[in-house]
Structure 1
Amino acid sequence: VHSYESMKIRILNGGHQILANPGEILGVEFISGCMAHPLIGPFFRKIAMEEIAPHVDPVPGMTPESYVDLIDRRFSNPEIVDTVRRVAFDGSSRHTGFLLPTLQDALSKGTPIDGLALAEALWARMCEGTREDGTTIAPNDPIWDKLTAAAQAAKDDPQAWLNQRDLYGGLADNPRFSDSFARWLNQIWADGAESALQGYLQT
């Protein structure tokens, strides 16, 4: 049961965060719409296959890669109406529970982390509280005010976001992660989320 649960948490629950944050920034309403987006859907798939699956154990009858395919189909199904806002709620517990353990494993094993770092940068951008079209993102986390203050400070100093030790702990001190995160967040603010997504997909 533990391996099944780990697979679900890291790929399905983690994947939801990977999709919902850029979706909210870019004004996409539903998860299926994120999957249909020419950059957000491939972003999920590339991270899941290259950066998450290597840290997930297979279970009887299912490799991590085949589970990614299964979740890809599920997320893409327009008959499953799942809003980006619902999925993005409470990122402060979802990122820490669903994505950061994989990032920790990847850093300790020396495997790729650029997509995971970009996912954190997109969350930081979302928590600034506006979409790229200028509309306001309504508070969507129990600690929204704290996140928004950190996100606004991070526009000039990306490390201000990672210095939320209750979220990132020692990850904030890992230069491989913090350098990648800073590069992505600066690119998002300078050139937009789609530019950063495109940059990652070309690597």
Structure 2
Amino acid sequence: MALKLNSTNLSQIAGDQIKVPTYQRGPAVKEGIVHIGVGGFHRAHLAVYVDKLMQNHGVTDYAICGVGLQPFDATMRDILGEQDYLYTVIERSAKGSLANVVGSINSYLFAPDDREAVIAKMAHPDTHIVSLTITESGYYYNENTHELQSEHADIQYDINPANENQPRTTFGFLYAALARRYEKGLKPFTVMSCDNMQKNGSITRHMLESFARLRNPEIAKWIAEEGGFPNAMVDRITPQTSAADKTALATDFSIQDAWPVVTEPFMQWVIEDKFSDGRPDFEKVGVQVVKDVHAVEEFEKHKLRLLNGSHSAIGYPGQLAGFKYVHEVMEHPVSRKFVWQMMQDEVKPHLPDIPGVNIDEYCQTLIERFSNPTIMDQLPRVCLNASGKIPQFIMPSIAEAIWDSGPFRRLCFVAAAWFRYINGVDDKGNTFQVEDPMREELQAKARAGGTEPHELLSIKNLFGDDLRNDERFLKTITTAMQDIARDGILKSMPKYVD
């Protein structure tokens, strides 16, 4: 019989196959990290590293207080609360499954319940780091101008002094808490982005400083001079949890967990050593902490363009073709060749050399990870919020190919597949849900443009003039769009494989 996951049942759950936290939790520890955006990736990545620090190295002052800002976070609040903030990480590979109960999340605050409580928590002297997994759209970052989307209604609301204690956005909360720390003479906490964005720390810094200047230039200056915003590269494939995953956990490990996390054995985190108010010894649990920001940027570039760019090459064509899972796409021989050749011929030539890193071996590792059938990585997860992904994962490689007169037809095919995907109809006429914060604008542009790219390329905060004005690019992507519209993905893709 499966035991409900909670503190009372931990001793009965523990066994040879299941690791459980044996360290102190609750009021006995300090919550040095406040994390905004407690989803699957955070619980499979940062929270696992912190769990290892607490379990293996006796760390007691960097437990995590989770924070949810959005109405949909109420489910996470309820489930974690009922389980004493415990959850299970299931690692799956060809060798089998492992289950570990993680206890590094010590509490959870739901901002719509009490926004003041969130601000006060961040402002508390025990808080040294506020970490983020808020997805690309949560940064209000204009990809074209590289500036804060200050005209956005939510930002406009938060920069109104009358709303300082009732913010809506991450930057509203960060500013309100930092302003209190400034008034109390405390150091600013480190703001640590764990999102898949190149230069994520630098972007976070620029967006927050821009926000703060709209409120109080003096506090903005203090943040600029004293704040810590480390750049980081994060990596671990974390599919959405399914009902079957919960059932398997109960059957195989006798644990009843309402929201476990399924992931792969592989995990990586490279982070710049740029913290403003202390940090735990992340190095002790396998984190690559580097002094040189350029080292992080090079790792980021490899990961974002090879892993995430390949995810785009799998996701949008795959969903249009009617596949459900990443590994199914990789089992299709033409799709597998397409992904490999895109990485090798069109992405790799524009990547920096990193001492000790063999790009070909890295590419092969990615192919193996994508092909892992046990984690059942769903294509809709990979396709989420593409307006924040394609401009980072695909378009920079195209832009550099334009500058170097290099090949980019496969990259254009991926972009064309996304343009087709925006319509929400696959090659067999089946409809699917497009989840993107810009969905309405994207779909209106896609309908207006048909098999021509100009309407979508006119969205200035996604695409720059280097793309809109290049004849070779326009011809190549238009051809790809027309191929896909006429023949579908599986019949048109062979033209793009050597």
Q: Report the TM range for the smaller structure's normalisation.
A: over 0.9
Question: Take 1:80 and 1:172, find their aligned partners in 2: how far apart are those partners?
Answer: 39
Question: Take 2:383 and 2:367, find their aligned partners in 1: how far apart are those partners?
Answer: 18
Which stretch has the larger CA shift, 174-183 or 136-145? Answer: 136-145
Change (3 A) 1:156 1:18: closer
User: Secondary structure of 2:461's match?
Assistant: helix
| 1:82-121 equivalence runs, <5 A | 82-121=377-416
Question: Take 1:145 and 1:55, find their aligned partners in 2: how far apart are those partners?
Answer: 34
State the partner residue of 1:23.
Answer: 318
Question: Take 1:52 and 1:156, find their aligned partners in 2: how far apart are those partners?
Answer: 25
Q: Letter of the aligned partner of 1:189 in structure 2? A: A
- 2:486 counterpart of 1:178: no
- The higher radius of gyration belongs to 2
Which one has more relative contact order, counting CA pairs under 8 Å at least 6 apart? Answer: 1
Q: Letter of the aligned partner of 1:141 in structure 2? A: D
User: Secondary structure of 2:333's match?
Assistant: coil
Question: Take 1:156 and 1:116, find their aligned partners in 2: how far apart are those partners?
Answer: 17
Question: Take 1:62 and 1:81, find their aligned partners in 2: how far apart are those partners?
Answer: 28
Question: Take 2:443 and 2:334, find their aligned partners in 1: how far apart are those partners?
Answer: 25
Question: Take 1:54 and 1:65, find their aligned partners in 2: how far apart are those partners?
Answer: 11
TM-score when scaled to structure 1? Answer: 0.94
Question: Take 1:64 and 1:150, find their aligned partners in 2: how far apart are those partners?
Answer: 37
State the partner residue of 2:461.
Answer: 166
State the partner residue of 1:6.
Answer: 301
1:193 to 460, 474, 489: 489
2:321/2:488 contact within 8 Å kept: no
1:162/1:178 contact within 8 Å kept: no
Instruction: Report how far residue 176 of structure 1 moved.
Output: 1.1
Instruction: Report how far residue 156 of structure 1 moved.
Output: 4.5
Question: Take 1:40 and 1:146, find their aligned partners in 2: how far apart are those partners?
Answer: 30
Question: Take 2:445 and 2:464, find their aligned partners in 1: how far apart are those partners?
Answer: 15
1:155/1:189 contact within 8 Å kept: no
Cα-Cα RMSD? 1.3
1:103/1:116 contact within 8 Å kept: yes
| 1:53-92 equivalence runs, <5 A | 53-92=348-387
TM-score when scaled to structure 2? Answer: 0.39
Question: Take 1:35 and 1:154, find their aligned partners in 2: how far apart are those partners?
Answer: 31
Question: Take 2:481 and 2:448, find their aligned partners in 1: how far apart are those partners?
Answer: 12
1:159/1:182 contact within 8 Å kept: no
Which ranges in structure 2 are unaligned for 5 or more consecutive residues?
Answer: 1-295
1:35 to 323, 330, 335: 330
Question: Take 2:436 and 2:306, find their aligned partners in 1: how far apart are those partners?
Answer: 22
Structure 1 residues 112-138: Cα deviation after superposition (integer angstroms, max 9, x where no partner): 011111111000011111011111121
Instruction: Report how far residue 159 of structure 1 moved.
Output: 2.1
User: Secondary structure of 1:183's match?
Assistant: helix
Instruction: Report how far residue 194 of structure 1 moved.
Output: 1.7
Question: Take 2:350 and 2:391, find their aligned partners in 1: how far apart are those partners?
Answer: 16
Question: Take 2:351 and 2:311, find their aligned partners in 1: how far apart are those partners?
Answer: 17
Q: Letter of the aligned partner of 1:28 in structure 2? A: F
Question: Take 1:164 and 1:26, find their aligned partners in 2: how far apart are those partners?
Answer: 27
Instruction: Report how far residue 6 of structure 1 moved.
Output: 1.2
2:451/2:478 contact within 8 Å kept: no
Instruction: Report how far residue 160 of structure 1 moved.
Output: 2.0
- 2:459 counterpart of 1:142: no
Change (3 A) 1:9 1:157: closer
Question: Take 1:58 and 1:73, find their aligned partners in 2: how far apart are those partners?
Answer: 22
Question: Take 2:322 and 2:435, find their aligned partners in 1: how far apart are those partners?
Answer: 15
Structure 1 residues 90-113: Cα deviation after superposition (integer angstroms, max 9, x where no partner): 110100111111111111111101
Change (3 A) 1:58 1:156: closer
- 2:317 counterpart of 1:44: no
User: Secondary structure of 1:77's match?
Assistant: coil
Question: Take 2:451 and 2:363, find their aligned partners in 1: how far apart are those partners?
Answer: 36
1:165/1:172 contact within 8 Å kept: no
Question: Take 1:169 and 1:92, find their aligned partners in 2: how far apart are those partners?
Answer: 14
Question: Take 1:41 and 1:58, find their aligned partners in 2: how far apart are those partners?
Answer: 25
Which ranges in structure 1 are unaligned for 5 or more consecutive residues?
Answer: none
State the partner residue of 2:447.
Answer: 152
Which stretch has the larger CA shift, 13-22 or 141-150? Answer: 141-150
Q: Per residue, is there more helix in 1 or in 2?
A: 1
Count of equivalent residues: 202
Instruction: Report how far residue 60 of structure 1 moved.
Output: 2.5
